[in-house]
Amino acid sequence: MATNLTSKICDISEPVTFSSQSFATDRWVTNLKPYVIATVGLPARGKSYTAGRLNRWLNWKGLKSRVFNLGWYRRELYPSESMTHEWFDPDKEDQVSKREKSLSCCIDDLKRFFEGGGIVGIIDGTNSTATRRERLQGILAGFIDANRILWVEKICDDPESVLENILTRKVHHEDYFHASPSEVVEDFSKRIQHYEKNYTRLGGPADSDKKFIQIFNVGRKVILNQINSQLDLKLAYFLMNLHSKHITIYLTRHGESVAQLNQIIGTDSDLTERGKGYSDRLRDFIDRETAKEDKMSVFCSTLKRSYKTASSFLNSGKYVVKQWKQLDEINGGHFEGSTYSIIAEKWPKIYKLRQGNKYVYGWPGGESYQQMIARLENILLELERGSHPILIIAHQAICRGIYAYLMYLLPEECTEIEIKSHCVYKFSFEKKNEPTVTRFDLGLG
C-alpha cells in the first residue's frame, strides 16, 4: 500500500519532556493565580448546573478546578436534621448561624484546595444578600486578590422554568429522600420564599467594582461588569453559550470504511457495504430513540466515511445535518495511509514514542491528541449550547475526546477509551448532575 513516508522522519529523536501544565489544552491557562467564582441567585435558578458545567470545562482546559457546594457542607455538618423549608428561614437565628458555619467550613476546604495547587474554586451557593456577599468577599480578601473573584448571578423570573427546575433537579435531591414530587414542589417553593425576603441582586452601587456576570432568563440578557482579564472573558464566553438543561447526546464512529477494514490509519476512504448498512441502522435506531423529539442535530466530519454515514439523516424535517472540519479524525501526518504493523516494523522509534504517550506525542506532520482536543473546543461549546438532542458521527480519536469531556474525565485520560464500531454511546443525565453513558450495539459486528 502507498505511503508518503520519507526516511527523514525516522530521525525524529527524543520526546520533549513536558511538565504537567502542558497537559492543558490551551496555552493561556499556564501560570495562573487562584481564582474564585461564586454563584448568586435564588434557589432553583440553575446555579449548581452552571457550577458543574464550569467545573468540567475549566478542568478540561487544564485549570484544576473544584466545586464547593454549600448544600453539601450543610448536609455533612447537620446530617440528622430535616432540610425542609424551615431550615432556611432567615428569621430563625439558629439556622442562620448554622448556614454561616457551613460557609466557614467551605472556605477552609477552599484554602486547602488552593494550597494543594488548585486554580479555580467555585463556591456554589445562593449568596443572595449584599451582606453575605460582603462577608464572603472580606474572608476571601485574606488569600485571594480582589480582582480574582467573579460573581455569577442567575436570574429567572419565569415561573414555569423555575417549576421545571424543581421537578427535574430537586425531586431526586438529597434534601428530599422520602418526599413525593408534589411535596417537594410545595416545600421548595416555600424555601424560595424565605430567600426572596432578603434577596438583593448584584448591580447596586456597592457592586460597581465587583467582577460579575449576570445572566437573565437562560441567557436572553447578560450583563458583564469589570470583565477584563483573559480568564474572565473566556468564562463570560462560555457562560453565554451555556444552555440551562441537560440534553441527550449520542456519539458514534462512522460505519466501517475501506481503510478501517485494511487497518490503515487515517485517509479519506469510502464506506464498505457493511458501513453503508450501518448508516441505515443508525437512522432507524435514532428514529426510535428520539421519537418524541421534533428536532435534532446530526454532526459529522468532512471526511467521506463520516458524512456518508450521516447521509441517511438528510432530507428530513427533523434532522439538521451539519459538517464540521473540527470533527475530522486525528491527523496521522506522514503516516496517513500506513498501518500500525508497518510503522512498528519500519519506524519502531516513532511507533514506541507514540504508544508511550499518545496524548502529547504528535504524528510527524500530523497531530497529537492534545492538539486534536484543542480544536474540539467549538464542538464542545455547541454541545453546551444545544437545546435539542445531538448525534455526533465522528472517528475513533475524536469520539474518545468527546467521550472524556462528557464523562467529566481529563483530556489526557481519553487516549485509550474503547469506542467500538457500529455502537452508539448515549450520554444523559439521570436524576442529578451525574453523567451516565449507555452503549447500544447495533448488531453489525
CB neighbourhood size of 71 (10 A): 17
Whether 377 is catalytic is no
Nearest CA to 71 out of 176, 154, 213 is that of: 176
Catalytic residue among 194, 254, 334, 422: 254
Q: What are the residues facing 149 on neighbouring strands? A: 36
Catalytic residue among 232, 328, 329, 412: 329
Closest approach of ligand F6P to the CB of residue 330, in Å: 5
Per-residue cell: 229: 482579564
CA 41 to the chain's CA centroid = 22
Show the beta-strand stretches assigned E in 280-373. Answer: 296-300, 319-323
Residue with cell 461588569: 225
C-alpha distances out from residue 42 to 47, 125, 215, 304, Å: 9, 9, 13, 49
Whether 85 is catalytic is no
Quick one: 225 or 371, whose CB is closer to ligand F6P? 371
Quick one: 54 or 330, whose CB is closer to ligand F6P? 330
Whether 86 is catalytic is no
Catalytic residue among 106, 156, 399, 414: 156
Quick one: 3 or 147, whose CB is closer to ligand F6P? 3
Closest approach of ligand F6P to the CB of residue 79, in Å: 46
Name the DSSP letter for residue 264: B
In the complex, which residues of this chain contact ligand F6P (CB under 6 A)?
Answer: 260, 265-266, 329-330, 332, 358, 395-397
Give me the helices (H) in 242-339, please.
258-261, 273-289, 304-309
3-state secondary structure of 346: helix
Quick one: 236 or 343, whose CB is closer to ligand F6P? 343
Is the separation of the CB atoms in 321 and 314 below 8 Å?
yes
Pairing of strands 390-394, 296-300: parallel
Closest approach of ligand F6P to the CB of residue 324, in Å: 16
Whether 329 is catalytic is yes
Closest approach of ligand F6P to the CB of residue 327, in Å: 12
Quick one: 38 or 397, whose CB is closer to ligand F6P? 397
Closest approach of ligand F6P to the CB of residue 264, in Å: 8
Active site residues: 124, 156, 254, 329
